[in-house]
Chain A
Amino acid sequence: DSGVTQTPKHLITATGQRVTLRCSPRSGDLSVYWYQQSLDQGLQFLIQYYNGEERAKGNILERFSAQQFPDLHSELNLSSLELGDSALYFCASSMGTGGRIQYFGAGTRLSVL
């Protein structure tokens, strides 16, 4: 077990709604990364936080936002959901800012109906 915990495992919602995905990193890891995995796009990097601050940004839509709290857990907020947002959302963590070796969570499967 890698120690990265993601909740919920599955989420079903409707278009236009807002959801929050939660991630707890491995003990001692300060960086959290969010990825979106969809069938046609593969694994896409969204955003990285390190010790509470945004560190790097990838292909994250403006409707999406994230934050990392003082206890180092992170939340990914997805709003005004569209059908195309249906995907697996992975969280990963690493000790430092360099994310060469990342430890992944089991993912949250989001279905937008």
Chain B
Amino acid sequence: AQRVTQPEKLLSVFKGAPVELKCNYSYSGSPELFWYVQYSRQRLQLLLRHISRESIKGFTADLNKGETSFHLKKPFAQEEDSAMYYCALFSYNAGNMLTFGGGTRLMVKP
């Protein structure tokens, strides 16, 4: 069965510092991975997907199949990046479903 692990429940950094939110997955097929974000008092929303290989709000994420990881990175954190971040894996194996990690709360201090 697929599984997504986000080892850090809380990550606290200072403004301007680099950020890396870790995500590891286990999946027998070809993975499709996503990062969703939930800002305070807002809904969960898509941040980026590995297929598009784009940078959103300065964030990037590279799929590393060898390490089964999809870490989210930003070189210089901003206070407005403070939010809950969820890594998610899409699979057809058990129906069309997103499996979410436990989430990491990012706090960017001034």
Contact = CB atoms under 8 A, between A and B. Distances in A.
A73 to B, nearest CB: 18
Interface string B41-73: 001111001000000000000000000000000
25 contacts: A2-B45, A35-B100, A42-B100, A42-B101, A43-B86, A43-B100, A44-B100, A45-B97, A45-B98, A56-B94, A56-B97, A57-B95, A58-B94, A58-B95, A90-B44, A97-B96, A98-B96, A100-B98, A101-B34, A102-B46, A104-B43, A104-B44, A104-B45, A105-B43, A106-B43
Interface of A is mostly: strand
Given A43-B44, A101-B34, 7 more contacts: A2-B45, A33-B97, A48-B96, A58-B94, A98-B90, A99-B97, A101-B49
Contact of A45 (B34, B46, B99): B99
Contacts of B49: 100-101
Nearest to A56: B95
Given A43-B103, A48-B95, A56-B96, A100 B90 contact: yes
A51 to B, nearest CB: 13
A55 interface: yes
A9 B43 CA distance: 13
Contact of A99 (B44, B90, B94): B90
Interface in B78-110: 86, 90, 94-103
A49 to B, nearest CB: 11
For A43, A57, A99, A107, the residue with the greatest tally of chain B CB atoms inside 10 Å of its CB is: A43
